[in-house]
Structure 1
């Protein structure tokens, strides 16, 4: 990783010297009421030189668990580095966060408009400003997300299979799973990848929900990364992961064969064998009870927690092929 020199950091129209702490604003547009919207960016710099790590969350306004992880990094002072610079952006899509909606007011998914445009849609302008004024300063980005549509993700890191250089950092972070997944066109991850900026995408939990296990996984993983680069102050302890990280080459969704009321009976993260019972689908009248059994052997990395499902809905995301370590 490149080493950022201990010079004045020029970011978002502000100057931050080594050893300084500063909150700057990432502002794009006012609300429709003309009320200004300030998106705080918290910057902490040590006097000692070191890399610059950027923590981001809230690209989707309904994914509050990622916001909570960065909030804890700030509230506990973990973001004050022993060396280098830490930049925290807890809520990028402040417009969606205000309304607890995934998208921007213009209906666009921010994570599908990168690298954006200075004269495009509201989401496109936010994407452009992030890529133009913040990302150039980062040596490593850790971006926090959650599952959507009632689907609960086991804590996991995601990046493209060919990015084997990130395997070492993934092991350091220590999430229970790494899911190799392709970079989606016009996503934040894909755009950073094109610029040669390493990015670890953390997935955990589901939208509209804060989960302590997921939060702890994100906070502890962040501390391990900071310690790895000599940035974690000695006042903080960095524990070893409780389990060895499982690298998943391929996976598939098991879908509902029937519509009805659904209840999973297997804990997230479990290792199951083919034909193991995972849950059941019933009707409201007590006449029908279908037992959902595992279609293959693997790890359960995502569970649909919706009480009502329709035929074809995704129920369980199960690993199909693991990477040998």
Structure 2
């Protein structure tokens, strides 16, 4: 391999990308400096098609332990035929680099990066990082697919959060062929919300579980991005139809424990529950039953805790209202 092939240029902004049509290039985008004054850089892949078209952004690892989305982006670019691509695809393989290096969910100052968007130019560490991400990267997108997973100690179904009242985001969500879609207008502080504030249609895709590669879900996530590219007329590929229609939820919320103890979940992902159904039991360390938790209303299990040790106010399950 030549030196030119092994040298990846460093940029400060997506505006500095200047690559020929019909090419794929790798970049490091400098976003902050660490405590030694050394650059912290985002790994970015850019594919510029042979013809003009929209710019589609695909982001992964806003939380440092969310790995499935990284593999989705890698597979996406490995499969691309840029000679027939119209427009540009930008893959941000790792958004939250400091957390990724520590394999933790939150930023180094203890804040969730997906709760501080779009950040502040003169704020605390996580806010500065978020501000520069939105200013230097996200605002250059025309559409955004933000790839996440569950957090540690929990598991998720393959589902999408999207504003289903907006036609474009509705289509972006359906094209992911998810098991479930939650109608969820952009919340303050999320990357999806920051994109929406810039009039960039965006959806959040939950691709399984943290800290692992899950081949089936990675394949599904990659398929969903290809579907979006076809929908946006960036490619001439056929849209892959779902094997079954997704479950549609008008809203969702987490159910929490009242007291501490050892928790046992009595339900599975995507299981439909009725009001009053037993969803979890909690025992003390001696094995004595302390509490039984019942479904407060009819719904479907979107995600759930897998950690038996649970303090007061711990998460039990994520309930979607169909």
Quickly name the TM-score band, shorter chain normalised.
0.7 to 0.9
* Residues 205-243 of structure 1: per-residue CA shift (max 9 Å, x gap): 343344344333322211221222333475xx7542222
For residues 211-226 of structure 1, the aligned pairs below 5 Å read 211-226=214-229
**1:270 and 2:275 correspond:** no
Partners of 1:44 and 1:79 within 8 A in 2: no
Structure 2: stretches of 5+ with no match in the other structure: 1-12
CA contact (8 A) 2:31 2:39 kept: no
Match of 2:44 among 41, 44, 54: 41
Secondary structure of the structure 2 residue equivalent to 1:184: coil
- Post-superposition offset of 1:60: 1.7
Alignment of 1:152-301 (within 5 A): 152-160=155-163, 162-232=165-235, 239-288=240-289, 292-301=293-302
Q: What does residue 5 of structure 1 align with?
A: none
- Mapped to 2, the partners of 1:44 and 1:296 lie a distance apart of 47
Aligned residues: 309
Matches of 1:230 and 1:78, distance apart in 2? 14
Q: CA deviation at 1:315?
A: 0.8
Contact (CA 8 Å) 1:12, 1:26: kept in 2 or not? no
**Superposed displacement of residue 257, structure 1:** 4.8
C-alpha distance in 1 between matches for 2:288 and 2:81: 55
8 Å contact 1:152–1:204 — kept in the other structure? no
Residues 134 and 268 from structure 1, CA distance in 2 versus in 1: closer, same or farther, beyond 3 angstroms?
A: same
User: Could you say what the CA RMSD is over the residues aligned between the two structures, in angstroms?
Assistant: 2.7
For 2:233 and 2:56, locate their aligned partners in 1 and report how far apart those are by CA, in whole Å.
Answer: 12
Moved over 6 A (4+): none
| Unaligned segments of structure 1, at least 5 residues | 1-9
Partner of 2:79: 77
TM-score, normalisation: structure 2 = 0.84
Separation of aligned partners in 2, 1:313 and 1:186 = 22
- The CA deviation at 1:79 is 7.8
Give the aligned partner of residue 57 of structure 2: 54
Q: Is the 8 A contact 1:63 1:207 kept in 2?
A: yes
Counterpart for residue 102 of structure 1: 105
- 1:312 is displaced (CA, Å) by 3.6
> In structure 2, what is the equivalent of residue 3 of structure 1?
none
TM-score, length of structure 1 as denominator length: 0.83
| Contact 1:78 1:223 (8 Å CA) reproduced | no
The CA deviation string for residues 12-71 of structure 1, in whole angstroms up to 9 with x for no partner, is: 423123212222221123433454433221001111222211000112222223223223
